[in-house]
Amino acid sequence: MSLSTDIVRWRYKLLPDHVVGEILTKKWVDSAIPFLALVLLIFGFGPFVPHFFELTTLSNLARQFSEFGLLVLGLTVVMISGGIDLSIGSVFALSVLTQLIGMNVEGWSFTTSLLATLGVGVLCGAINGAMVGYVRMRAFLTTLVTLVIYRSIFDLVFPQFSTAIVTTQPDSPMLDTLGDGTIGGIPVSFAITAVIAIALHVVLSRTRYGWRLLAVGGARRSAFNAGINVRWTIFSAYVFGSVLCSLSGFLFAARIGSAASDVGAGLELQALTATVLGGISLGGGRGTVAKAVMGAVFVLLLSNSLLTMAVSGPGADLILGLILILAVFLDVRWTKNRHKLLRNVYISPTYAKLPAPLSADEGSSSPLAPNDTLRDVGVIGLGILEGAEDVIFDRNDILYTGNRHGDILKWFPPNYTRYEVLAHIGGSPLGMAFDRDGRLNVCVAGMGLYQVEMDGTVRRLTAETNRSLFSIVDDSNMKLADDLDIAPDGSIYFSEATTRFEMHDWYADALESRGNGRIIRYDPATKQTKTILPDLVFPNGICMSHDNQSFLFAESWACRISKYYFDGPKKGSVEVVIANLPGYPDNINRSSDGGYWVALMGMRTPALDLALEMPGFRRRMARRCSEDVWLMPNLNTGCVLKFDETGEVSESLWDLGGKNHPMITSMREHKGVLYLCGIFNNRMGTYRLPDADPTFCGVDSYWGPAK
């Protein structure tokens, strides 16, 4: 092996690039960019701006945040609902005015003026909400107009009271506490905002109202079709947003105690910058409180720093505007390209060089020499039986199999032309095994491990296992439960082929050829589910050995059959039985002569074997080429092998070119006949074995003769 292949091998061993794709599937990556921007700002500006990290600066910042943060949260709610509120600056100004008139001029009590101020917020929000939600006017224009109207009202009223406001001071301890009191060193107003933020986070992420808000913002029509009261939801979002604005105004007035004629002007620009920068989508439906908070802190830090560095007001506005443009640009590009990016990076093939295969040359004397034994065989259910992955028989010769519609079918002897549906599970029923009590246990792709009683009752045994410590995707749920077998003590061992892909994307896992799968044990006594063998390369067939201490399992993309000891002196160890199959093994089942049958779903091809050594080539192929043209194993070949306990192959049965049986996924010997299944085939094959025991029945082989 040359140095360059060593480098490739180690690079794929040490750098797990599939992690990138898995991180991108997480919802929280949306917050990664604003978070990075915030960190950059703190460490980029911190050392240069005087007093940046001092306590008084932080305390001052906290008070400013309590007001600005509420504004941003209010705008966030409106934006999540799919709208926009430009009038927040004017509502803020009106609220400040109301509070000052109430407390300074009219001498209302704290509670009365708080209620009056919030009432102004409700009124303003209701006007916006009614026009946008019920009259269905454009949010942008509507709130632009109300911005002007509310501002005009402020400009008309303010001069009447401006002198009175500055000449009298209210006598309210509550107000003073709100303005500059602290609780344990934390400003009171900050504590209020923090509580509101946490409450809002819970509402948005954990309650029905929050979900409906997100649904309406994300897809208004779908939300309507789903029965959500879209108009009311939008209306309420505007009202809620305005109330937060007015509370913000109240806190501001409590802190400052007076107002200038330009109070609140330009706040909408700042708040909008904060939300968009935080990653709250302008298109609606996406956004969290955490993002809003990050955006708000960013804008506050930036504007304060600019102020400290003596940048003029218009200059600071200019910088803020430029940042808003940049944030909007990033928002648009990210929303548009996130899925593309994910699709491009999710499939991440790894170095998977296979050992040279066992020779299967035509005309050789090897037991693997191809033949056409399986080309002309008996057929069951042609055109009716769609997608039988596995088959099993009970002691009465009744045949059980699954199909792609999610049914368990029961076919009756002797001709197997009559059938009935035993049970409908859903998903894709794959491997099957009878337990000691004659119940049928089935692995169902996309669902988990199920049990079917002979009266048709379906029971879920397990669909969840322990989550592994360092996995990024949640691997506790089961994506592709594949095959199972049952140990003498009743515990069920089953394989989950991959934790990274759904069943219909199985070929993407083939392209990756990484150890994405695992073998899981379910103990019916304790009902415990536990992963016992992680990181297997598409573990597929499982079959109890005749020694009752171990089971054989096939790893498809590794072309390997191994043995795991669950009992006896070698308990817990894994031994490789066949390391270099000429094809990709699927299900394994017992044969009547004490050996095992294994189905090869497809054959190795030199072109694919070479690609397996070149992960970069496969990754680019996955990105550039359509799935229809990807290199795959040669699946249009049917092949079944018989091997013994030592891994010696004694016989091979083929359908070259897959005339009747391409991609054989399972086979089962029953009373001298071998039954052949294919998950993408529309039939089942029967081949009479010349030298087999004509009385062999799998159920007896496991659980002894019928009592």
Partner 1 sequence: MSLFDRLLGRGRASVTVPVMDGPFLPNQKLEAAEVLTPLSEADNLLPHQGALHASSGAKLVRLGLAGGVEIVETFNAPISALASRGAALAVALDGHGVEIRGGAFDGKSIPAHGEGLRCVTAAAWLSDQELLVCSGSAVARPHEWRRSLMQLDVSGTILRVDLKTGTISKLAGDLAWPAGIAVAGGQIFVAESWRHRILAMPLSGGAAQPALAGLPAYPARISPGASGGFWLSFYSVRNQLVEFILQEHVYRRRMIAEIPEPFWMAPSLSSGHNFKEPMQGSQLKQMGILKPYSVSRSYGLVAYCDARMMPVGSFHSRADGRRHGTVGCCEFGDVLYVASKGSNAVMRIASPMTALSE
Shorter beta-carbon distance to partner 1: residue 589 or 681: 681
- Distance in Å, CB of 192 to partner 1, minimum: 50
Q: How far apart are CA 649 and CA 656, in angstroms?
A: 19
CB-nearer residue toward partner 1: 89 or 658: 658
Of residues 255 and 405, the one with the C-beta less far from partner 1: 405
Distance in angstroms (rounded) separating the CA atoms of residues 379 and 655: 14
183-209 residues labelled b (16+ CB within 10 A) or e (exposed): eeeebbbbbebbebbeebbebbeeeee
Q: Is 219 exposed, middle or buried (0-12, 13-18, 19+ CB in 10 A)?
A: middle
Least distance (Å) between residue 346 CB and partner 1: 17
Please enumerate in sequence order all residues whose Cβ is within 8 A of that of 136, keeping only pairs 6 or more positions apart, or say none.
Answer: 231
**Residue 374 C-beta: closest distance to partner 1, Å:** 13
Query: In Å, how far are 7, 123, 539, 601 from 613, measured between CA atoms?
Result: 12, 68, 20, 21
Least distance (Å) between residue 361 CB and partner 1:
10
Residue type at 45 in one-letter notation:
F
Give the closest residue to 557 by CA, choosing from 618, 491, 604.
Answer: 604
Q: Write the DSSP string, 377-396.
A: -EEESTTTS--B--EEE-TT
- In 425-491, beta strands by DSSP E: 428-434, 440-445, 448-452, 458-462, 481-486
Amino acid at 243: V
Query: Closer to partner 1 at the Cβ: 10 or 140?
Result: 10
Closer to partner 1 by CB, 295 or 662: give it: 662
CB atoms inside a 10 Å sphere around CB 627:
11
Choose between 133 and 585: whose C-beta lies nearer to partner 1. Answer: 585
Q: Which of 206, 623 has the CB closer to partner 1?
A: 623
Give me the least distance between CB of 396 and partner 1, in Å please: 30
d(CA 294, CA 266): 20
* Three-class SS state of 497: coil
Nearer to partner 1 by C-beta: 467 or 504?
504
Least CB distance from residue 491 to partner 1, whole Å?
Answer: 35
Q: Which is nearer to partner 1, 331 or 655 (CB)?
A: 655
End-to-end CA distance of the chain: 59
Return residues touching partner 1 (CB under 8 A): 362, 370, 386, 507, 602-608, 610-611, 614, 617, 620-621, 623-637, 639, 656-658, 660, 662-663, 680-683
Give min distance, CB of 590 to partner 1, in A: 26
In angstroms, what is the minimal distance from the CB of 24 to partner 1? 18
Instruction: Please spell the DSSP secondary structure of 396-439, one letter per residue.
Output: T--EEEE-TTSEEEEEETTT--EEEEEEE--SEEEEEEE-TTS-
Task: In angstroms, give the least distance from the CB of 670 to partner 1.
Answer: 23
